[in-house]
C-alpha cells in the first residue's frame, strides 16, 4: 500500500498555488509530516489528494487512481481531518461520528452506534459522546474530528494540523494513535507546524515552500539550520536532547542565507 502523488497543480483564479508538485512515494506504515510556512500550499495539497479541490496531476493509492474512484468508495478509503474544527452543528458528538461512519454505506443503527462509540472510547472521549458538539472545547472538538476521520477505517489518513488545539497529553494520545494506525498498514500524512513534534513522531518530513517540495527525507536530513533558514528565514539551531531527540531552537529571524 502506498500513495503516489505526482505533478499536482492547483490554481485559484489566476493564482497557481501548487505548480507540478510531486511527493515521494509514501508507504503504508510510515507517518509523513508536511511542514512549511503559512500559505505554502500544505492544506491545498492535502485537499487535492482527498479530491476536495480541483487539480491536475495524479493521486494513486495502492494502484488506484483516487480521482477515478466513485466518491462513496473513496470515502471508505480516505479519511480527511480538516484544519477548521466542526461547529454550527445541532448534533451530539456521537451522532457526528455515526454520520461520518455511515457516509456512503448503510449500516444497521445498533452496529453504527457501537462502532462509533468504540472509536470514541479508543480515543479517550467516550464521556463526550452525548454532549452537543457545539458545547465542546476546541481540543475536545479536535478529538471528535479525529474520530470522524478514522471511524470508517480508511487506508489513507490525511490530517490538517490535527494537534493545533490539543494540550500536551492529548497531543501524545493523538500522535500515538497515528503511529499505531500507520503501523497497522495505513498511509498517514499530517500537516504540522511544530517541527520538534514532527521530529519526534514522523518517519519522514516533506518541507513545502511556495507550492513546491523544497526538501524531504528523515527528520535529521530535513531539519537543518540551512534548510530552515531558506524556508522560514529564521536563525535556527538543531540540537539533540539528552534522550537523543531532535530539538529545533530559534535564535532569531532573518538568518544569513
Q: Which residues bind ligand ATP (CB under 6 A)?
A: 12, 17, 36, 38-44
Comparison of 12 and 249: residue with beta carbon closer to ligand ATP: 12
Instruction: In angstroms, give the least distance from the CB of 40 to ligand ATP.
Output: 4
Nearest-approach distance from CB 17 to ligand ATP, in angstroms:
4
* Residue with smaller CB distance to ligand ATP, 102 or 209: 209
Nearest alpha carbon to residue 145 among 184, 196, 89, 205: 89
Q: What are phi and psi of 240, to 5 degrees?
A: -105, 135
Q: Closer to ligand ATP at the Cβ: 38 or 106? A: 38
Q: Which residue lies nearer to ligand ATP by CB, 50 or 92?
A: 50
Whole-number minimum distance, CB 199 to ligand ATP, in Å?
Answer: 18
Instruction: Output the nine-digit C-alpha cell for 213.
Output: 517540495
Shortest Cβ distance from residue 44 to ligand ATP (Å)?
3
Q: List phi, psi (to 5°) of 63.
A: 85, -5
Least CB distance to ligand ATP at residue 47 (A) = 8
Q: Which is nearer to ligand ATP, 39 or 67 (CB)?
A: 39
Contact 28, 186 (CB under 8 A): yes
Helices (H), 51-124: 71-77, 93-102, 109-122
Neighbours of 125 (CB within 10 A): 22
Q: Residue 234 and residue 254: Cα distance in Å, rounded?
A: 5
Report how far apart, in Å, the C-alpha atoms of 134 and of each of 81, 128, 238 are. 17, 11, 40
Nearer to ligand ATP, 98 or 174 (CB): 174
- Residue 1: is it exposed, middle or buried by C-beta count within 10 angstroms (0-12/13-18/19+)? middle
Give the nearest distance from C-beta 83 to ligand ATP in angstroms.
6
Amino acid at each position: 500500500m502506498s500513495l503516489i502523488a505526482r505533478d499536482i497543480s492547483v490554481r485559484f483564479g489566476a493564482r497557481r498555488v501548487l505548480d507540478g508538485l510531486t511527493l515521494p512515494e509514501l508507504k503504508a506504515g510510515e507517518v509523513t509530516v508536511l511542514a512549511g510556512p503559512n500559505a505554502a500550499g500544505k492544506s491545498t495539497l492535502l485537499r487535492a489528494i482527498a479530491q476536495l479541490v480541483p487539480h491536475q496531476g495524479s493521486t494513486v493509492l495502492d494502484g488506484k487512481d483516487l480521482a477515478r474512484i466513485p466518491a462513496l468508495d473513496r470515502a471508505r478509503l480516505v479519511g480527511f481531518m480538516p484544519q477548521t474544527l466542526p461547529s454550527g452543528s445541532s448534533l451530539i458528538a456521537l451522532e457526528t461520528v455515526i454520520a461520518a461512519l455511515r457516509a456512503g454505506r448503510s449500516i444497521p443503527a445498533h452496529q453504527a452506534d457501537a462502532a462509533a462509540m468504540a472509536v470514541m472510547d479508543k480515543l479517550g472521549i467516550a464521556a463526550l459522546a452525548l454532549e452537543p458538539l457545539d458545547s465542546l472545547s476546541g481540543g475536545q472538538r479536535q478529538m471528535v474530528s479525529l474520530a470522524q476521520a478514522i471511524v470508517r477505517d480508511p487506508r489513507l489518513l490525511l490530517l490538517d494540523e490535527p494537534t493545533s488545539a490539543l494540550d500536551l497529553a492529548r497531543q501524545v494520545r493523538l500522535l500515538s494513535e497515528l503511529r499505531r494506525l500507520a503501523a497497522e498498514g495505513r498511509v498517514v500524512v499530517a500537516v504540522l507546524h511544530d517541527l520538534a513534534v514532527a521530529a519526534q513522531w514522523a518517519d519522514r518530513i516533506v518541507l513545502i515552500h511556495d507550492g513546491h517540495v523544497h526538501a524531504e527525507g528523515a527528520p535529521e536530513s530535513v531539519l537543518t539550520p540551512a534548510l530552515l533558514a531558506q524556508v522560514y528565514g529564521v536563525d535556527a539551531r538543531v540540537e539533540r536532547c539528552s534522550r537523543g531527540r531532535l530539538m529545533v531552537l530559534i535564535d532569531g529571524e532573518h538568518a544569513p542565507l
